[in-house]
Every structure is written in C-alpha cells, then in structure tokens.
Amino acid sequence: MNQFRIKRLVDQAFEQAELAKEDIKALLTADIAELDYLLQQADQKRKEVCGDEVHLRAIIEFSSYCKQNCHYCGLRKENHKLERYQLKKDEIIETAGMASELGYQTVVLQSGEDEYPAAEIAEIIKEIKNTTDLAITLSLGERDFAAYKLWREAGADRYLLKHETADQALYEKYHPGMSFENRIESLNYLKTIGYQIGSGVIIDLPGQTPEILAEDLLLSQDLKLDMIGSGPFIPHEQTPLAESKTGTVEMTLKFTALSRLLLPLAHIPATTALGTIDAEGRQKALLAGANVVMPNVTDSKYREKYQIYPEKICVNEEAGDCRQCIGGIIASLGREVSQTKGHSLR
C-alpha cells in the first residue's frame, strides 16, 4: 500500500471520523511498518480530544462462576479444572473502598455470568456510592433487562458488554446458546436507560478477517460507544480453541489507532491482554490513541482463579504496588494519571 494512499485515508479519518469499509480494511491489511503515520495521527487525535490524562479504572473480579460456554474463555462452565470463587458482599465493598483510598476514580465490578442475585448487586452499588465518591462500571455479561434497570437506578454509571465480533455467524459459533441480536439489543437498551456503554472486540479470533474488523468499527460507530476496547486473542488450554494462534500486537495497535480516529470521543483502554503478549504492549497502545488503563485491585489470592486467558500479567502483585507501577509507566510517557472520573466525552 503506497504511502500517499495511507496518508490520504488517515487524513480523511482524522478530519471526518469516517471511512468506507474497504478503506478501513485496506489500513488493517497494510504492514504495520508502513503505518507510522496512522499511529502518530491517532496519538495526536487522542491529545486533542482527551489531553494527556490517563484514566485508571480499578477492576474487582468478584466471581469466576459462569453459566456460559464461550469457546475462547477460561471461565467457561465446562472448564472443570478451574477453582471457582465468589466474593461476599462485604469483601466487594471493602475492596472498592481500598481502591478509592489508592486514588482511583472508577471501580469496575466484573464477573463471569453467574447467578449472583441482582438485588444483592444493587445493594453493593448503593453501598459503594454511599461510602466512596467512585464512578461504577459493571461488566457482568448479559442479564435480563430488569436487572440492568435495577442497577442503573441503584447508581451504576457505566456498563461494559463486549460484542467480541460483528460477524453474527462467528459470534454464535463461539457463543453456544447465545444470540448476537440479543447482545446488540442489550447494548442499545443499556444506552437508552442512561448507562455510558462500552463494548469491544477480540483481535485475531480464529476465523476473523480484516473485513470483519472493519465491520466491528462501523458497528461501534453505529452504537455510539462511550468506550471501545480491543485485546489480542490468547488461547486457553481448557477451551476448544486451545491450539489456535495468539493474536498479534500489530493488528491490536492498528485497530486501537483506527478506533481513536473513527470514534474520537470514545475512551480507549490499553488492555492487560496486550500487555500480556508484549511487555511494552500497554505503552504502545497509549501511544496509538488509548487513554485508559484498567489495573486489577482484586485480592491477589483470587487473581489466578479468574483466568479468562493464561499467563495474565500482574496476578501476583498487590493492589498498591500495581497502582504505583502503572503510575510510573504513565509518567514515563509524559502523561499523568487523571484525577477526574473520566465520564463519557459525548
């Protein structure tokens, strides 16, 4: 792909936040060595729209139980080798309080799709709101619409529900018993009732093509996402995709940069999965349009049991050490940790 065409397409995306599917595909299929201009312009757009602040979102992984059987995920119900756990209400509230004391402005309550009672989650949300000044993001998978409404009324600010892939056939192949249509309907409903919504994709999921990734970006525009995340596929040995290839840093960075240009107002995380396959992965993403990092504040005795993919970084770190480490990474890039909640830029 010649440099003139790359510059023309990148400039169009920078100025108009719009590209045709074939043009997105062309950039995604170009060699990463040719795409310095794409990465630089994504970083420039990030600076213009978001400034140099990096928002930290503290993740509490409170339950590794899951009723679903997604082919790529180590939490899948048929992984009988995984030691499951579920934090009690008081443990979750206490961990959120600790995150607040460490200076986090947002906490992310994340779990597999377990049967944690909706009413109890609502109580947890209310108590965190009563005892801290934290924004609350929920990442609990698909639940019924009544639960979404209950949690919003309890005070939850955001909901993260990744669509994983915009290709319906591929989605339903890897999510047995689940419906792509319901996933998109859920995201639209969450936005309607006042959540800031996040979604995202798995990069290099087996069967994925650059054309599908282009569709992912167009779908994300249609959904008017407040946050879009992308992390590389990492195979887990207790899943049907155990023998598949790990996703690449290169495609993840291209998708991150195009996310910034095509959804300039979205918050974009430098994902832990990218940091797992490349020691400098999060730094590279922060230089390609990302403006969020999501450190784990779950008690270290539980972290290895929340194994969506293997070899995740930082599982043996204590929350305070992790906070200090990520602060150092951000400072080394000439950026600063935000002291605001980082609500939607829309």
pLDDT over threshold 90, residue 273:
yes
Q: Give domain limits for the chain.
A: 3-337
Check residue 321 and give its pLDDT: 87
Check residue 1 and give its pLDDT: 84
Check residue 283 and give its pLDDT: 98
106-137 residue pLDDT tens: 999 999 999 899 999 999 999 999 999 999 99
Check residue 40 and give its pLDDT: 98
pLDDT over threshold 90, residue 214:
yes
129 and 155 Cβ atoms separated by less than 8 Å: yes
Q: How far apart are CA 31 and CA 3, in angstroms?
A: 11
Check residue 225 and give its pLDDT: 98
265 and 273 Cβ atoms separated by less than 8 Å: no
pLDDT, mean of residues 262-269? 98
SS (H, E, C) the chain: CCHHHHHHHHHHHHHHCCCCHHHHHHHHHCCHHHCHHHHHHHHHHHHHHHCCEEEEEEEEEEECCCCCCCCCCCCCCCCCCCCCCECCHHHHHHHHHHHHHCCCCEEEEEECCCCCCHHHHHHHHHHHHHHCCCEEEEECCCCCHHHHHHHHHHCCCEEECCCECCCHHHHHHHCCCCCHHHHHHHHHHHHHCCCEEEEEEEECCCCCCHHHHHHHHHHHHHHCCCEEEEEECCCCCCCCCCCCCCCCHHHHHHHHHHHHHHCCCCECECCHHHHHHCCCHHHHHHCCCCCEECCECCCHHHHCCCCCCCCCCCCCCCHHHHHHHHHHHHHHCCCEECCCCCCCCC
Check residue 316 and give its pLDDT: 86
59-111 residue pLDDT tens: 999 999 999 999 999 999 999 999 999 999 999 999 999 999 999 999 999 99
Q: Is the pTM of this model over 0.85?
A: yes
Domain spanning 3-337: which CATH class is it, in words?
Answer: alpha beta
pLDDT class of 166 with cuts at 50, 70, 90: very high
272 and 252 Cβ atoms separated by less than 8 Å: no
50-65 residue pLDDT tens: 999 999 999 999 999 9
pLDDT, mean of residues 175-185? 98
pLDDT, mean of residues 276-290? 98
Check residue 271 and give its pLDDT: 98
Share of the chain above pLDDT 70, in %: 100
Other CB atoms within a 10 A radius of the CB of residue 15 amount to 11
pLDDT, mean of residues 162-167? 98
Q: How far apart are CA 122 and CA 21, in angstroms?
A: 41
Q: How far apart are CA 196 and CA 209, in angstroms?
A: 29
Q: How far apart are CA 25 and CA 212, in angstroms?
A: 9
Q: What is the chain's mean pLDDT, rounded?
A: 97
Check residue 317 and give its pLDDT: 86
288-346 residue pLDDT tens: 999 999 999 999 999 999 999 999 999 888 899 899 999 999 999 999 999 999 999 99
Check residue 42 and give its pLDDT: 98
4-39 residue pLDDT tens: 999 999 999 999 999 999 999 999 999 999 999 999
